[in-house]
Amino acid sequence: MIRIPPFFLSLAEKNHRVPQSDGFFHFSPFFLERSLSMTPEQLATDLKSLLLQKDFRLVQQPEDTPAFDLYIRIENPVCCVLAVQPHDTAEHREDVAAFVEGLQKQLPQIQCTQLICLYLTIGAESLAEVHPLVDTDRMGNLHHIAWHYATDTQTLQTADGSPDKLMGIEKLLRMAATGEELPKDTLRKDTTGKRPVVTFTIFAICAALLLYGMVTGQNEFLWERFSVSRETVLGQGQYYRLITAMFFHGSIMHLAANSIYLFYFGSRAELLLGKVRYVILYLISGICGGLCSIFLGHYASIGASGAIFGLLGAMLILTREKGSRYTGMNYATMILLAFTALAMGFLDVGVDNWAHLGGFLSGALVFFLMFRAKE
């Protein structure tokens, strides 16, 4: 638990990049089908339902606070506050500003470095000019954004210097105005009671082969017999090595390091994709990683990391397409992890980074094709 201003509830997780604005006053038309007679209160109510489904948390306010909706969402290192005002008043602005200023002091406690405040007003008519909550657009680590949605013209207006996109809120606003519902496949998938059997089986096979080699003292023989290299695969036609190599490991530490990523990405991929597609993805990624190692590398290699990097690439695409709520993974963190792992691999002479890169790219491509085919 964390301590922040009294009418603050709890938080969600993720990461977000603040869009840049061209500094001009914007009119972004939404081509809506709903009646123009929709009141600002109705739109705010419909928007509330969509925001709650997308991990925005409604802030509990004291009974004496003016009636307006205040939401918060965390996408580390960014904290976003959304104030939805069907009736814009000076009193409302003061209350929101006070809340944001109090929350700004609590950022270190919630492990955030940036705070975004989106002040959204909803009215029946367009405004001549949209004014931000405060005079300046940025105060240190606090960014103020102001929008106004006019129900008569069905347009979204933004203040000078404010972006017209933020955390998908603009899409939810459009959906609320049209009466659309969120696609079910973008919501968190229920995996209660399910177990990643295939992932456990892969780990068990890898662990059994490593243990057998250690107990019998035949590790070096097994590596030589089942590793992948240009000479053995292309020169001698031993193509089976493209599969066997991904189940052998050089040491306990090698297996342990791969297993962490296997269980983190593999267990989620298996539950979300299904066992058949998961096995296909794993094997193709491992084979492509081996092929990349053969053509670009210079040494024999073993290990499941090529296949595991393929799982990382696939989950990256899935998170990008379906959202972090669906996969339970942070998109920005996954990108950082992928780049860090690949960069460290190129710095270590004992790591076959070509297999990692080949597995990652093939996994992302294979899943992208499977995802599009399913659509």
Dihedral pair phi/psi, residue 309, rounded to 5°: -65, -30
Residue 9 region by backbone torsions, left for phi larger than 0, else alpha for psi between -120 and 50, else beta: beta
Cα 274 from Cα 251, distance rounded (Å): 30
Report the DSSP pairing between strands 78-85 and 114-123: parallel
16 labelled catalytic: no
User: What is the SS3 string spanning 11-62?
Assistant: CCCCCCCCCCCCCCCEEEECCCCCCCCCCHHHHHHHHHHHHHHCCCEECCCC
Catalytic residue among 16, 92, 144, 356: 356
Report the DSSP pairing between strands 114-123 and 142-150: parallel
**What Cα–Cα distance (Å) separates residue 295 from each residue in 27, 283, 300?**
53, 18, 11
CA 50 to chain centre: 18
DSSP, residue by residue, 272-323: HH-HHHHHHHHHHHHHHHHHHHHHH--S-B--SHHHHHHHHHHHHHHHHHH-
Catalytic residue among 227, 285, 305, 362: 305
The answer to whether 35 and 152 have CB atoms below 8 angstroms apart is no
Per DSSP, 245 falls in state G
Cα 291 from Cα 283, distance rounded (Å): 12
The answer to whether 77 and 14 have CB atoms below 8 angstroms apart is no
- For residue 228, which of 241, 247, 214 has the smallest C-alpha distance? 241
356 labelled catalytic: yes
Cα 59 from Cα 56, distance rounded (Å): 9
Instruction: Supply the residues annotated as catalytic.
Output: 305, 356
